[in-house]
Structure 1
Amino acid sequence: MKKIHFIISLFVLATLIGCANDDGSDIDLDGVSAPANVSALTTVTQDNTGKVTFIPKGEGVTQYKINFGDGSTASPYVGPGEVISHTYAEGVYHAKIIAMGINGKTTEVDKEVVVSFKAPENLVVVITNDLAISKKVTVKATADFALFYDVYFGEPGKPDPISANDGESVSYTYQNAGVYTIRVVSKSAAIQTTEYTAQFEAKLILNPTTSAPAPPNRQAGDVISIYGSKYTNVAGTNYFPDWGQAGQGSSWGEFDLNGDKMLNYIKLSYQGIALADNTSIDVSGMDFIHLDVWTADVQKLETSLISKTAANGERPVTRDLVANQWTSIDIPVSAFTSQTGFTVADIYQLKLVGTPWAAGTVFIDNIYFYKEPAESIAIPLDFESSALTYAWGGFGNVDAAIVTNPNKAGANLSDKVLKLDKKTGAEVWGGASLNLESTLDYTKGTTVKVNVWSPKAGANILYKMEVSTSPKDGNGNPTVFIEVQVATIVANAWQVLTFDLTTAPGFSTANKYDRVILFPDFGQTGTGATYYFDDIKQSN
C-alpha cells in the first residue's frame, strides 16, 4: 500500500513539473505551502474491542498516515477520503496525523485518542443558534471517557446523524425555523452509550449582523446626505416623525450594531423622515438617491419624495428587497421627476412604505442623494483643479497643504503641489493621506511615479495604498494595504521616483485600493524639514 501511494504521488508530481501556468511560466512547487487545517474525525466501535477509525482531512493534502502513539508501526499512507483503523488497548494515547502535500512538505497534528471501556459520564451539551446565519444550530458535547458523539438534529427526512470528536462542535442549518428534538449520543469504546435529548428552537436572524456596504469617497458638493456616518447629514432631521403610524402597530428606533448605527422601522406600514422646520433641499442637481436596506420579511420598499409645495405633492418609486442581506438601492432622481408635474427643488420629507403592510421590519443606512462628478479625486493627481478639494490629512506631527509650487523648474513646471511639513520631533511614521473617489485602474499600469522635492538626498519616501473598507487592525488601520519605499537621489530639486506596486507584499489587482499615503523621510524623526509632492500617476 505504501509503495502504491508513493508511486501515485510521484506521478502527480511529475505531471505538475511538466506543466506550466496559464501565462506560460513554470509552476513553483517550492512555493506551495505545507498542508493546512489538518485534523481527523476519530470514532470507535461500541463493542469493547478498542477498534478506532481515523477519517483524516485537510487542505492541500495528497496523502495521510497515522502514527498511532502506542508504540506500534505507523500506518501506510492513504489518499484523501480513505480511512485508517487501528485496535488499541484501553488507555489514553497521543496519535499523530501526518499530512503530505504535492511537494513533499508535511504537517503533523497531535490527536488525543481516549479508549475507555466505560460508558461516557458527565455528559454536557451546549446548543446555540448562529448569530449570523438564520436557522443554523451548533452543538458541542463533552463527556468523561468519550471519544466522539453523534447528533440527530431531528429534521424530518434527515435521519442520519452528524458525528464530531468529543469537545468539538458540529453545525446544521435547518430548512425551516421552528422547534426540533435534538438527540446527542456520546460514545466510548464501551457497548453502552450516554444520551442527551432537548427541544431547541432554530431561529430566523431578524437583524443584520454585518454593516451596510461603505459608501465611496465623494466631494462635498456631489452629495446631500440625509442619514449615515460617511458624509455630513442635513442638520436637524427627524427620522421618526411617526405620522400616526404607531396605531398600525409600527414602531421605530436606532439600531446599534457594534457601534454602527442604522434606522430601524418595525412592522413598517409607512414611516417618514422630515427635515427641520422650514427646511427643504434642492436635489434637482443630483442624479440618484441611495439607500442600503436589510430585511428578513419585507418584500418591497416604496420610497417617496415629498415637496414642501403642497400643490407639487409627492411621488413614489418601488424597489424589490432581498431577504437576509443588504440591498443597495440607487433610484434615479429622474424616476420621480418623470412622473407628471413633479419637481424636486424643495424636498422636505421622505416617506417609506413596506410590502406587506405593517408586517415586516427594515433596517436602513446610508440615505443620500448624489451626482456623478465631472471631476473626481483619482490617480493621476496633479492638484491643479479649482473644483476639487484635495483633503490631505496629516498625522504623526506632519502638516499637509496644497500650495503654489515653490520651485517651478526642472522636472516640475506645474502651479500647485502638495506640501508636507515634517516638524521637529515628528514621528518616524509621520505622513499624510488622501481618500480617492475612484480606485486604481490597473489597465493604466502597476507602477506609480511621483514627482518629489526633497531637502536632502537619501531620504526614504514610502508610498502606501490602502483599501479603506478592509478590516481594521488593533490600531484602527486597514489590514489590506501595500507599501513601497524609494530613496531620493538629489537635494533641493524635483525628481521623479518610481514605485513598482507589484514588489509590495500582498499586492493584488483584485484589491480596490482607495487611499494614498505618503511618508516623507520615512523611518527618521522629524527635523523641521519640508517636502513637496506632485504628479502622482500610473505607468506600465
Structure 2
Amino acid sequence: MNAIKYFLSITLLMAVITGCKKEKFDDVSFVNNVADPAKISVLFDITQDNTGLVTITPNGEGVSTFDVYYGDGGETFVKVAAGKNIEHKYAEGVYKVKIVGHGISGKTAEVNQSLTVSFMAPANLKTTVTTTGLAVTVGATADFETMFHVYYGDEATANPEPYDSFMQEQTATHNYPKAGTYTIRIVALSGGVATTTVEQIIKIGKQIDLPLAFDDSNFDYTTSDFGNNQSALATDPKNNTNKVLKVTKPAGAEVWAGTTLGTATGFATKIPVSPLNNKMTMRIYSPAAGLTIKLKLEEHANGKNTVETDAKTTIANAWETLTFDFNNPSAGTPALNAAFNYDKASVFFDFGTPGSGKVFYMDDLQMAIQIAQISLPVTFDAPNTDYTVTDFGNNNTVDANDPTLASNKVKKTTKPNGAEVWAGTTIGTPAGFSAKIPVTASYAKMSMRVYSTAAGLRVRLKIEDHNNGNISVETEAITTVANAWETLTFDLTAPFTGTPALNAANTYDKASVFFDFGTAGNGKVFYWDDVKFVPQPSSILGIPLDFQSATLNYAFTDFEGGAVTVVNNPSATGINTSTKVAKMVKNAGATYAGSYIALAGPIDFTKKTLKMKVYSPKVGAKVLLKVENLTDGSVSFEKEVLTTKANAWEELTFDYSAINTAKSYQKVVLIFDNGNVGDGSANFTYYFDDITLN
C-alpha cells in the first residue's frame, strides 16, 4: 500500500516539472512614459528648544530619492527616500540647503532653499547665590539655555571683568580679596546670540565675632540702626591708622535710638557669658561725661531672650574703657540666663535722652578679662588672678620682684615705725581663698617662703573662716637665716599657746601672716612667696604624683630614647619650690620617645582635669600626657598641650572630660616635644612635677 502511494507522488511531480515554461521580461518601454522629476521643494521643521535640531522633509513629483545638502560646510550630501525626512543640528545662522531629486529615468531636478536658524533667549532664569565669609557660590537654572557665565564684579583681580562658566546643575565658586559690596552678573546663554541676564548685589565678608574691632578688611562690618540713629565706619579721632565705628544720634532720634552690630544673624559664635564670666568691655569716645551707654545682648533667633546693662561715660573727648556687668542688668529688664544663646549685640548711646546731634565713637567690644579669686598655692605669678592683700595695724605690703630673681613676682611687706605689734597682712581679699584649706584632724601643715632681714624673727600664720572670724587657728615659725630665702613650715595641728585649737569640722578659707610678731614696727622689710598647703606624704604611688617621698619607688620605664630620673629641682622658684622633681632627657630615637610609670592602683577620674608642672627649654614644645590600662594598652586616653614658657616653671592643663570612666587606667605615659627626634642635649631636657587631678 505504501509503495503505491510513493509511486503516485513521483508521477505527479514529473508532470508538474514537464508543464513549466520560461518567459522573458526585457521590455522597458514603460520607462519612456514616466514623468521627469519636477516641483522639487523642501519643508523645514525647527525644534523650538535652542538645540538647533531641524527636520528636513524634501518633496517633488516623479522623484524616487533625494540628495540633501545641509549647506553648513562641504559638498557632502545625504540620500533620503521619497516620503521620508532627516534630522540635522545647526548652529544659529542662515544656510542654503540644496535638494536634488532623482527620477527613476535617471533625470534630476533641484532646488536651493534658504534656512534661517535663530535661537530664543533663555527664559525663566533663576539664580542661587550663597555667601560664606569671603566666598560666593553661584548656581542657576533656565529654559532654553546652553550654559551660564557669571561675572563677579571684582575689579581687584587681574582680568577687569573675570567670569566663570558653568552648566545647569553645576555651581561656580569665587573668593574675594576683601569684604565689600559687589554686583554679580549672571548670563544665561542660548545656542546663539540671544542671552538673558540678571544682576544681584551681594555683601561679602566674614561674619563678625568677639573680640570686635573694625580694622580687618576681611570682615563684614554691617550695622543696623534704629530710632533714627546713624552709624558708619570711620577713622579714630585720635589715631588715623585705627578704624572705629562712628555713631551719631541726630536731632529727632528716639530716646531708645541704637545700633545693632553686625547683620541680623549677629556674631559667628555665642557670646560666652555665664554667671562667672559676665562682663564685657568696650572702648568709647564720648562728647561728654555722665552719659548712659546701654549694651544689650540677645538671641538673633529669638529676640525675647535678652539681657542688658548700663555704664556711664566718665570723660569727654577722650577714649575710655567701659565695663558692662550683666550680673547687674538694667532695672526692669530680664536677668542673665546662661542657657540662652546670646549671639547679637546692640549699643544705645546717650540712652534715655532724645537725639541732639551728639557723636560717639566705639571700638574693641570684647569679654572682660576674668580675674580669678586667689587660691592655694599662692605664687603671685598666675595670670588674671586677684592678688590683692589687706594690711592692718599700719603694715604696708606692695607687689615686688624677687630680690634674688627679678623675673619672679613676690610680695614685699614693710613693718614701719609705729606699726602695731600685731600688724599683719591678710592674703587676698576679705573673701579669702576660692576653696577650703584641706585640713584634717591629724594633718594640717602649710608652708611659705620668706626672705627676712634677720634670723630669729617670729612669723605667725593664722587661718580662719572668712564668714566668721571667731573660727580660727594660728601658729608660728622662726626665721633661721638673714637676707636669703627659706621655707617656713607651719603645723596648725599644734596651735600657738592661748589660741583656738584646730577643728577639722570648721571651714578655714582665709589666711593672714604677721611678720616679726610681738614687736612694734621699726622698718623691717620682708619678702614672701609660695604660700601653700603641704600635702600629706603618701605611702602609695598614685595621683597626685610628686617626687618628694624618700620611700616610694618612682620606677619609670623608658622607651624609644626617653630617659626619666628623679633629681633636685633645678629652679626652685615661681610656682614650684619642691626640692625634688622628675627629669626627662629625650635622646636620639623615635619622635615619640618617652617614659611611663605604673601606679599602685587605678586613677580616680571623678575629677577630669589633669595638671602638671613643667620646666621646658623652649616655648611651643608639644607635651603629651597619656593614661593606659595596666595590661591592655588599647584602653587609653591622651591629650597634648604646648609649652608657653622657656626656662621657667608653668602649670599645663590637660582636659580629660571625654575619658571613659568605665575603664581603669593605672599607667601614666609622658612624651615631651612629641613629633621631634631628640638629641640628648639641654634643648631636649625637660623637668616635670606635681601631676594632679582638679
TM-score w.r.t. structure 1 length? 0.32
Larger CA Rg, structure 1 vs 2 = 2
Larger RCO: 1 or 2 (CA < 8 Å, sep 6+): 1
